[in-house]
Every structure is written in structure tokens, then in C-alpha cells.
Structure 1
């Protein structure tokens, strides 16, 4: 049985306990062009070329390899987010593209609805809050509620709501930790620790997070996000592309496995007006849970 996962990072690592529907497998995503984005939403505009002078560094020494006390990072601020994306998933047993509708309330709720090319209806809907993940697998007719430690145990990695939100908007998931900042080539590297997890934030000259590398010290599980195609949106730069690589060791055969997820946002809106997060589950499935 092939598996896809629905759930935050876990959602895009495969669909949980799901037989794969007969769909058109296509590992390549269609390139998102400037024109198609403009046609998709009126408030997505191509960002101007960034100027390295916009980097805000407090108490920064003049030497290239010196430690920097503080770096100002431009975070995406929003009340509500609404968007569409194409997501390419590739692993040892999955190689396909899915369409994803996204809605979110900052630091509170993330709603995802999945469909696949060739099927006109939704195959799954998931709702993420700070403490739980609800998944309605419409294709198989199942409904499950998980805590995040379910996915953490499976992948030997501490998956959280904050990591999922960072995955979507390109913000740092760990902001309260003290940072040691150094200069590495064209980046400012903010190094952090969260328990036994090491976090490397690569900040570009435009003050945006360009790359996030999270490493679990004990298991050596790695999550890497590479953000690109930054576009001006509501007075900030928003990454329309995110290439995610997850690497972990299987307890069954002790081999290293890798999953690659390629997210291409085709439409994004940052809104002040509240959004609805529709999530209807048949009564018979609720009784089973």
C-alpha cells in the first residue's frame, strides 16, 4: 500500500494510511510565471530587485567573518491568509503532484484542502490547530484526530504548528530562542537551539529567510526549506516557492530515506477580513473516532 501523508510537514510527506487513487503521476510542477500570477490575483506583484543596503544589522562589526550581535529579519505579518498551490511530492513510494487550497489564521488555524489532477473533487481536508491535527480522508472515507507527537514519533522529528506555518509563509518558526549570528558568504546565519534540535536560519541581504535547516541531534533527522521567487505582497516580500527536503532513518531497516516536496504558490492573499474554515465530517465517521 502506497502512503501519502496529510498533516503539516507530515501532510506533505505522503497521505496517511491512504491507498493511492488512480491519478496522473507527474513529478514535475508547471513553472509559475509572472503573468500567470498577476492573472491569478490582483495583489500579487513581482518584487523589484532587492538592494543589499536594505539589510538592517545592529552593532555589526566591519569584518566579513565577525560575529554579529543582532540581525533584523523581515517577517510576513498577516491576520488571515488565503491561497492556492501546486505541491510536488517525491519519495521512495510516492511521485506525484497535488493541488492544495490554503487558508490560515495567524498563530491559530491552518486549513488545507487537497485534490489531484484528473479528479474534480477534493480527496482530503485537514485542519491544524496548536495542539491537534484533524484529517478527513474523503477518498477512503476516514476521519482521524492526531496530536503532533504522532507524526513526531513516526519521523523522529518534533513537528509543530509553528513549523507548518513557517513552511507556508517563509517565517522563522523559532523566534524566542537566543541566536548566535555569524556571516556566511552572502548570508547572515542565525544559529539557534531548541532542546536537542539545532536550527540554522540563513538570512539574505533583503532581510528575508532564504533557507531553514533544522537538525535533530539524537536521530540526525533533517528538515531543510529553501525559499525562492520572492514577490511583493502587502508591503512585504512573500516566497512563492519552497523546496523542502526531509531526511530520516527508518527503524525497520536502518536506512536513510529522503522525501522532497516542491511547493509553488499560484495565488496568495493576505487579508484582514475573517475567513471560514469548512470542515464537515459524516456522522458515521465521527462515531467511529
Structure 2
């Protein structure tokens, strides 16, 4: 069974023009060559915690359709992410992400799927792994051990990295918080952009309560360009030291198929 086919990418209508998202506009124009900074002395202010619990509203939009739902999120930092999807007050699906695998139980349709991240990346036409998914929820820099080239430009720092065929651009504000992350996959030029907003104090930590996720890709089927835009808004976030549970129960008859 081709497991990646069990995950349906969000249905989009082809659009002929994709807006450029691979640059950041600054208030003042750059009038001189940007200065490179020693990345060993540059530290991004990531969010430090043991466990996280959040109530989140998610909406996505394509030229063809739009939908919205609520997520209950539980997380153990750098280890496991659990999500319960609710629509119209009814739990319709559960997902759990670990370092090496993503598992989904679609209660509404009675389907269970488990995928490694290579298959998940193929299904959504962009590089995905645990650290990237954790980043889109909390705004931490996903590639920390990767040697960076740091450029100082006016009111932000630009950290450039490369991970395999993926070029990574981290846009860091003066407060050392990740404001924008751009992943560009070669040679397809597919792009995943994360913009983090609504930074508010949470346990004396600046936390982004909103994020805008934009996926631009060229279809392998018809060679046309598609775009999906996802808005994430946390209505409540708790950073905890007390361990959380991550319940994930799937009917035995569905597990036997894998």
C-alpha cells in the first residue's frame, strides 16, 4: 500500500501567479553591503519549556475553498506533539508526531495512517520533519546545529543555512526572536514560509500567539503552481513542568492493516 497516498494534500485551485515571499521589506533601504556576523556569538531566543498545552484555532484557505477547526495541542519539547482536531464541537481526528514518525487517526472516516517524514514531505510537496512542525507551533528555530551565515541588515538579522536540498533563511528581530522562516527546496523551488506575530509575555517569555504558514509549490501532476495559506491563532497556552499524557487509541481492526 502506498501510504503517502492516504494523506490527501489540501485541494487547491491552480493559480498562475505566486507572489514573491522570499524577501523581507525593511523600513529603511539598504545602502551598503550587509555585514556578516560570527554565528558562534549569535544566539536566537528560543522558547524553553518542558511541556506545553494549548488551545488553538486553525484556518486554511486556497483559491477554491476555506475551512477552520480547533486544535487541542500537547507537547513534550523536542520529543512528542499530540493534537486533537475538533470541528463543530466534535472530535474528528487525532494526530501524534514523534521524532521519526507521524500517525493520524481519522475518526470521522474511520482511517488510520502512519508515515515517516520522507513520505509526509512527498505528500505535502515540501520538506517536513519533527523540528519544522514544532517550529510552526511555537516559533523556535528548527535547524540549530546547522552552521549559519549571519548577516546584519538594519533592524533584523538574517541567518542563512542549508540542510540537504533545502535552503533556509531565518529572519531574527532585534529582540532575538524568530520573526520569519523561509524554506526553499531545490531544484523544485517549492517554498514553505512561516511568519510569527502577536508576541506576548508568557511566563516572562515572549511567545508568538499567531503564525501565518504559506506553502507555494508546483504540482508534479500538472506542473501548475498552487498555494495554501494557513493561519494559526493560540487562544490559550500553558508552559508546564508537570508531565502530560498523550492519549492515542486506534481500533484494533485498523491497526491490523499496517
TM range (shorter): 0.7 to 0.9
CA contact (8 A) 1:156 1:219 kept: no
How far the C-alpha of 1:19 sits from its partner, in A, is 11
Q: Distance in 1 between matches of 2:110 and 2:58?
A: 23
Give 2:243's aligned residue.
Answer: 274
How far the C-alpha of 1:159 sits from its partner, in A, is 0.8
Q: Distance in 2 between matches of 1:146 and 1:195?
A: 21
Give 1:86's aligned residue.
Answer: 57
RMSD value, Cα = 2.1
Q: Distance in 1 between matches of 2:33 and 2:43?
A: 17
CA contact (8 A) 1:249 1:256 kept: yes
SS of the counterpart of 1:288? coil
Query: Within 5 A, what are the aligned runs for 1:1-289?
Result: 16-17=7-8, 65-70=34-39, 71-116=42-87, 119-289=88-258
Q: Distance in 1 between matches of 2:64 and 2:76?
A: 33
For structure 1, which runs of at least 5 residues remain unmatched after alignment? 1-9, 21-62
Give 2:28's aligned residue.
Answer: none
From the two aligned structures, give the one with the greater strand fraction: 2
Q: Distance in 1 between matches of 2:114 and 2:35?
A: 48
TM-score, normalising length: structure 1? 0.76
CA contact (8 A) 1:89 1:262 kept: yes
Q: Distance in 2 between matches of 1:215 and 1:142?
A: 32
Q: Note the alpha carbon deviations across 1:95-131, whole angstroms, 9 max, x for none.
A: 1111011000011100011012xx2220100010011
Q: Distance in 2 between matches of 1:90 and 1:284?
A: 34
How far the C-alpha of 1:94 sits from its partner, in A, is 3.7
Runs of 4+ in 1 over 6 A off after TM superposition: none
How far the C-alpha of 1:91 sits from its partner, in A, is 2.0
Q: Note the alpha carbon deviations across 1:236-289, whole angstroms, 9 max, x for none.
A: 111000000011110111011111000000000010010000111112222233
CA contact (8 A) 1:133 1:147 kept: yes
SS of the counterpart of 1:154? helix
Q: Distance in 1 between matches of 2:105 and 2:9?
A: 11
Gap change, CA 1:248 and 1:18, over 3 Å in 2 = closer
TM-score, normalising length: structure 2? 0.85
CA contact (8 A) 1:177 1:194 kept: yes
CA contact (8 A) 1:64 1:183 kept: no
